[in-house]
Chains A and B, each alone.
Chain A
Amino acid sequence: MKTRTADNANSAAGLRPAAPSSIWGDFLRKLCKNKTAVAGFIVFVSVCAACALAPYLTKWDYHTLDTENVFAPPSREHLLGTEYLGRDILARLLYGGRVTLRITLVSTSLAAVIGCLIGLAAGYFRGRADFFISHLLDILASIPVFLLIIVTETAFGWGRGNFMYAMAVAAVPQFARLVRASVMNIISCTYIEAARALGVRHSKIILRHILHNIAPPLIIRFTSGVAEALIICTIMGYLGVGINPPTPEWGALAFVSKSYMRSHPLLIILSSAVIAVCVISVNLFGDGLRDALDPRGT
């Protein structure tokens, strides 16, 4: 903040401001130099955009059957052909991406927010709350993620919304543990002690000092969390958890086309490829983020 006001003062006085020296500026510059990271980001964003703009990119919808045109090869009418009920593959992939990506992004963001709150409460205030929270997290973390999702789905009913919340709940322990650990690292620093000695309020310490400092590991964790959630979401879709037909979902598409995989492997290949492209691009972007945010500067 201070450097920025100083820069403004300089430019107001007609002087050229010095190169910006904020952490985030450095980070962005480093990130933009990393070509694979930028490429990953662009690919993922364009896949998201394509799915969001699905109604404008294809004239077909994902659920109209066309039994005259079963297993049509790619043509001008159906750009990627049709599947076993004559539905357009491209439309199903695009609309399926809407479902998959929405579930992935929303559940990971929810998990990050909830995990952040829980981790802050445990790591900052310690005491009995920390005892309960960390033990509960230990127990939750020792349940396999898919078990938690399946059991929660069974308990609260099958549907896309519940599936999303179940995925979020399953991902919370990782975020909460990370935040708790990094908060406890930061809290032992002298500047926090100084702020406390000066009588700064808890809310201000958390907002100004702690959140600022736990952001880098949290961002890295978020990108890898998105990649993991994508894989888990598609696998759950493949197993038929949470997604009911005819809703297209990339994993569910692969499951349906499994029965025809010897004669018409196009759909399973395409859905696998789309999932792989998304996961790889997110992973590459995450690797770039890690390199850029690493204070050791590798």
Chain B
Amino acid sequence: MTKYIIKRILMIIPIVLGVILILFVLLYFLAGSSIRQMPIFGGGDALDKIFTFFGADDNFITKYIRYCYNILFKLDFGRAGDIGFNVTRELKYRIRNTLLLLGSGVGATLLIGIPAGAYAAIHKNRIGDRVINLVTLLFSSIPNFSVAFFLTLFFAVYLRILPVLISYTSPKAFIMPALTIALGGVASIARMTRASMLETLEQPYIIALRSKGLREADVVYRHAMKNALVPIVSALGGLVSQLLLGTLVVEHFFSVPGLGSLMMTSVGMRDHNTILGCAAILTIILTVTNIITDILYAFINPQIRLLYAGKRAAYREKGRRNEDENG
């Protein structure tokens, strides 16, 4: 198990380096790119010695190596193109807001989506199921900015119970943004919960529990729910990447100082160093969540755990087959 975890964690490095390479290539060869002004020598660190030893030129590859080195070992994202502010400090200040938004959004999605899906599964093909299906479909079909607009009109303008355009320090300020982000992702989670719940409720052990005379609530919430949630965990990674777009919109709509809004401003100002920094951070967030999800899944799902502990070859075969099936 530890081996599996270590392997997954080590997988972060090539993925992040590859992603940064793609973004770096795209932004480096622009006319007037501010990334090209980055010096390849960083004031006497280990990489400097290596570069002088090999007599490195100032070119694309050395710049890429220097950039990755600075990010990984010094947490330094360079300076912004024209104004020259410190990108690292800006990112540090904004990452908190983005993570809070994203986290509360994912939390709200699960809090709304899982009960809704479970309710729909228990009341299959009845009115409740239809209504939940329709409402979640409706919310997933409206773009986030419209949801934000309607929520603002309803909660802030008519009811006047939630604040807008304040500094994002009190938890109350995060309710509407989180709700906006969540409503975009509820449909997929509710659908998935419903499907997996329906499948679980047909399993033989559920019939056994029922024939044993267990209360229906116990059967559903204590036994079926636990097993029905396993596929949801594996879908968390995809959910986070889906909700990141919502976070971007929400930051724009509610004027939250976050990574997305920083990136949009720097796109307007052609500040490529900041764009690259934001993009790298957002990708790292996504990759890390994906890998945490994988590890969580392995922890929860005894099938994977046992397979890995037992015959590693069998696990590999199974993993490959799963990968092929899931695409």
Contact = CB atoms under 8 A, between A and B. Distances in A.
B249 A239 contact: yes
B56 interface: no
Nearest to B30: A155
Task: Among B27, B30, B263, B324, find the residue whose CB has the most chain A CB atoms closer than 10 A.
Answer: B324
A287 to B, nearest CB: 9
Interface stretch (A10-18, A86-94, A177-185, A201-209): A177-185
* Residues of B contacting A: mostly: helix
A144 interface: yes
B19 A139 contact: yes
A144 B282 contact: yes
Interface in B18-40: 18-19, 22-23, 26-27, 29-30
Q: How large is the interface on A (under 10, 10 to 19, 20 to 34, 35 or more residues)?
A: 35 or more
Nearest to A265: B153
Contacts of B252: 238-239
B244 interface: yes
Interface in B91-143: 137-138, 141-143
A283 B136 CA distance: 12
Contacts of A154: 26-27, 30, 267, 270, 272, 275
Interface stretch (A71-79, A103-111, A271-279): A271-279
Contact of B283 (A143, A235, A280): A143
A152 B149 contact: no
Contacts of A195: none
A254 B327 contact: no
B51 interface: no
Contacts of B327: 174, 177-178, 180-181
B169 interface: no
A251 interface: yes
B18 A139 contact: yes
Pairs A-B, 5 closest by C-beta atoms: A272-B146, A279-B141, A177-B327, A139-B18, A181-B327
14 contacts: A142-B19, A143-B279, A144-B286, A146-B244, A147-B279, A150-B264, A151-B279, A152-B26, A154-B272, A262-B153, A268-B149, A272-B143, A272-B146, A279-B142
